[in-house]
A and B are shown apart, each in its own frame.
Chain A
Amino acid sequence: MDPIKIALPKGRLLTPALTLLSQTGIIQVDPDLDFERRLTMHTTDGKWQFLLVKPADVPIYVEYGAADLGIAGKDVLLETGRQVCELADLGIGRCRLIVAVPEESRITKASDLVSGSRVATKFPRIAREYFATYGVQVDILKLNGSIELAPKAGLATAIVDITETGATLAQNQLRIVDEIRWVSARLICNRISYKLHYSLIQEILEKLQAGEERNVG
């Protein structure tokens, strides 16, 4: 049988994600697995193949069936709007999607932003939806990094970003005015793979849940 392909996000989620997967006992992750240079890797038993991709690209791999399963942050899922099954909250990579402004700003809530204000973010779709629900017309500026710099540089009045502890925001003299939602990493699945590998996926879900209860208890 062809190996089942799992798209994994490069970066900080990779190690905790692999740990969770191997804890299920179903996916035998070789502890010496070396992702330094390679973008794909098979487990020793040949049953699983890992694809290493940019976090924001995981959903598209899964939607198109290039990967059967994937691990992606809820922020990425909301932003990309890809049609995939969201099977489980893995509880890792927990952080908040927030709206922040410079400390000295008089803005205290989203609706304080005047029409035409500029908002810098890596998540234009989430930001647009958020401000639309408040009926605030803002210009969304899509940036690819260093979002915290935008207000300081006079590029934007506010930012929409994710934060784990709030430390980076504080370092950049930014103040949170609203929390859009909590996000965390999700196990996602291609819609047809879900049907084709149903029993195996159920087994993984049960093991993940059992692991979670063990960790809580």
Chain B
Amino acid sequence: MTKEELLRQRPQGTKDYLSEEAANMRNIEAQIREIFRLWGYREVITPTFEYYEVLRQGLGSESDQLIFRFFDREGHILGLRSDATTPIARLAATRFADKNGVQRLCYLTNIFRYVEPGKGREREFRQAGIELIGSSAAQADAEVIELAAEVFKELGITSYRFDLGEVSFSLGVLAESGLSTREQRLIRGALLEKDFVLIEEVLAEARLPEQRRQAVEALTRLRGGLEVISQGRTLTENQQAHQGLDRLEEVYNLLPENLRSRVHLDLGLLKDLDYYTGVVFEGFVADLGYTVCSGGRYDRLIGGFGVERPATGFAIGLERLLELVPVIQEEEKSVYLTAAVAWRCQAQELAQNLRQAGVPTVICTGAGEELGEKQIFIAGPQEYQVTKGSLVTNLSSVPAIIQFFTQEGN
């Protein structure tokens, strides 16, 4: 592309928000921030870029090419924040190292990933999420799912559902399957992509004993209610897998009845980030062709930064949410104030009074501004012509003007 062509374009996978969209996004963010606050989660803000080595702890060696990378002048590799949890894990390990209790943290932030832009995939996108650090209890696993459900509910999304799994089950079954490391990796990728044909191909080539082959194959089919847990138990003797099922059952039973009816257990559920170690979940909505929220337990990630802490959490995609939430916010109309230069002082004072009363007010610069539906014209001291839509009247006092613009129906 030439310089001139570049000048008028955005990089692939990025987005401009015009004021109405921006207002909607901020509105959703404000609602979510308030829910997190009410559940006792405190917001943290981490840097937009980190050392590449930090980010790599989270993304793992197979997806670290997704990180936007650059150098500082000392030659260190830096990267743009490629997920929200990894920097918070670094923060937890370094800033809360001496605290042994439980921390409830939340964030609303932008994330950068070098992906092929496609449906629901941008190179810069926004996420809101929470991290519950320091608790390995099943109740903590349940709490994060309940909070994710609360976000959907509070935003007025009714058709949300969750898939709930435990990564140690699939990993345990694969570990004892007799498949090579390479084959296990292929199957993990295929479970993630739901590429069942690849699983069949790997299994056909591997020639495992029948029982083990069936156990791996079943990972694609163990989806439903509590019955899949007992089916899972009969398929494997792997201890890790059994512990995973016990935990999954425990968490499922902790969930309130009305939430359980929205939850499907999926024993083949795996996540695209390597750091998950336990109960994981995905939230989705009928009308949207992709996952809206995603989370789970990651007990080893913080340890990578030097302090072992169990943790769990979730992130919710804000652009994806924006598609689901009805547009609530209409662009707010400002009052346009015009006055002869001689009356500029009065204009400033009046504008200040209106702003304090919460009315957005613009003093026209005189350079061909469109005045919109709300106007004030200062004709002289105490002489104001005010307009609201088709309503035009003369007022003589500031309180009367404020009342005019703040009363019902504006």
Contact = CB atoms under 8 A, between A and B. Distances in A.
Interface of A: 63-65, 74, 81-83, 85-89, 186, 189-196, 198, 202
Interface string B269-289: 000000000000000111011
B289 A86 contact: no
Contact of A63 (B197, B284, B288, B289): B289
9 contacts: A86-B194, A86-B198, A88-B196, A189-B194, A192-B285, A192-B290, A195-B264, A198-B223, A202-B221
A17 to B, nearest CB: 16
A188 to B, nearest CB: 9
B86 to A, nearest CB: 23
B264 A190 contact: no
A65 B197 contact: no
A82 B196 CA distance: 15
A87 B161 CA distance: 22
Given A87-B194, A192-B291, A195-B264, 20 more contacts: A64-B289, A65-B288, A74-B197, A83-B121, A83-B193, A85-B193, A86-B193, A87-B196, A88-B197, A89-B197, A189-B194, A190-B289, A191-B290, A192-B288, A193-B289, A195-B161, A196-B286, A198-B223, A198-B264, A202-B221
Interface string B304-336: 000000000000000000000000000000000
A192 B196 contact: no
A64 B287 CA distance: 11
B99 interface: no
B188 to A, nearest CB: 15
A64 B284 CA distance: 14
Contacts of A63: 118-119, 289
A81 B116 contact: yes
Interface in B149-200: 161, 163, 193-198, 200
A191 B197 contact: no
Contacts of B223: 198
B196 A191 contact: no
B223 to A, nearest CB: 6
Contacts of A88: 196-197
Nearest to B119: A64
A217 to B, nearest CB: 17
Majority DSSP secondary structure for residues of B touching A: mixed
Contacts of B193: 83, 85-86
Nearest to B292: A192
A85 B119 contact: no
B165 to A, nearest CB: 12
Interface residues of B, number: 24
A86 B191 CA distance: 10
Contact of B291 (A82, A89, A189, A191): A191
Contacts of B121: 83
B289 to A, nearest CB: 3
A85 B224 CA distance: 18
A115 B197 CA distance: 35
Across chains A and B, which 4 residue pairs bring their CB atoms closest together, nearest first? Answer: A65-B289, A85-B194, A86-B195, A89-B197
Contacts of B221: 202
A124 B163 CA distance: 36
Contact of A85 (B163, B196, B264, B285): B196
A110 B75 CA distance: 38
Nearest to B221: A202
Contacts of A189: 194
Nearest to A190: B289
Contacts of A65: 288-289
B197 A192 contact: no
Interface string B90-132: 0000000000000000000000000010110100000000000
Contacts of A85: 193-196
A198 B163 CA distance: 12
A78 to B, nearest CB: 11
Contacts of A192: 284-286, 288-291
Contact of B194 (A82, A194, A202): A194
A189 B193 CA distance: 11
A85 B290 CA distance: 12
A87 B190 CA distance: 11
A176 to B, nearest CB: 22
A63 B290 CA distance: 9
B323 to A, nearest CB: 12
Contacts of A194: 194
A186 B197 contact: yes
Nearest to A65: B289
A97 B61 CA distance: 30
A87 B195 CA distance: 6
Contacts of A198: 223-224, 264
Contacts of B161: 195
